[in-house]
Amino acid sequence: MILKFDVYMHMLDTYRKIHMYLPDDYLTSNKKYPVLYMFDGHNLFYDEDATYGRSWRLIDAIQRNGKEIIVVGQECSHEGNDRLNEYSPYPFYDTHFGSFPGKGEATMNFLIEDLKLYIDLHFPTLSDRKHTWIGGSSCGGLMALYAVFKYSKVYSKAIVLSPYILPTLNMLMADINETYILHHTAIYLSWGAQEGDGMHEFVMETKGCTDLANLLLKKGVRIHFHVKPLGRHCEEDWEKESDQFLSFLMHES
């Protein structure tokens, strides 16, 4: 089942809608479930909620694979370019949209201090680090990557799809170098050859992802790579990976 409700973001002084998947029998099963927190929650489940009319259709994948999991999706801001601002942990410049101070830390504060506390209080979760995961695509992929190394005490695994890393790559690298990452941290990292404007952009994305991965591997992080020769930057293609990343999450490591 899908629940939709608003949760207050203290540091940004606003409410944000949550799109949440729960097993249909969660009230009667007497089970507790692992939780996957995700960015762009409106794009996860129903096409009618999705920004471009096509969702990840994640319910189908969860039920097809028989996965017992809770998914909590935070809807992004739809005001102007606020999504770019709220989904970046660092200041950056984008050639199409301009300069942004980056409010990603405020977003992470919401996820950990507001949202996770609310979810653990009201729903049957396995609240420990081992069973708490985070995921996203594009800017959400950047945030999921940041979250799992910066807040590895909270999250043990991350789903990082087509991450928007190039404008903040140097800051990411420096931050990873300076951060202690807990053992048993793992990342599913994917990107596609047809996401940008040409092969040059794919080469740059591949180099950036590879450089980050090599640094994370040196810090003891386990990484599952999925490079897609026909991969595009869209919900339809991220849906095609759902069987793989759900298996990655549920596999004991």
Cα 61 from chain centroid?
Answer: 17
Total domains in the fold of the chain: 1
Per-residue pLDDT, 168? 95
Per-residue pLDDT, 252? 67
Distance CA(31)–CA(49), nearest Å, equals 29
Nearest residue to 75 (alpha-carbon basis) of 2, 10, 20: 20
Per-residue pLDDT, 97? 85
The domain that holds 120 is classified in CATH as 3.40.50.1820
Per-residue pLDDT, 95? 83
Q: Which residues of the chain have pLDDT under 70?
A: 198, 252-253
The SS3 assignment for 243 reads: helix
Distance CA(55)–CA(49), nearest Å, equals 8
pLDDT digits (tens, 9 = 90+) for 211-244: 999 999 999 999 999 999 989 999 999 999 999 9
Distance CA(21)–CA(69), nearest Å, equals 8
**Domain residues for 139?**
2-250
Per-residue pLDDT, 58? 97
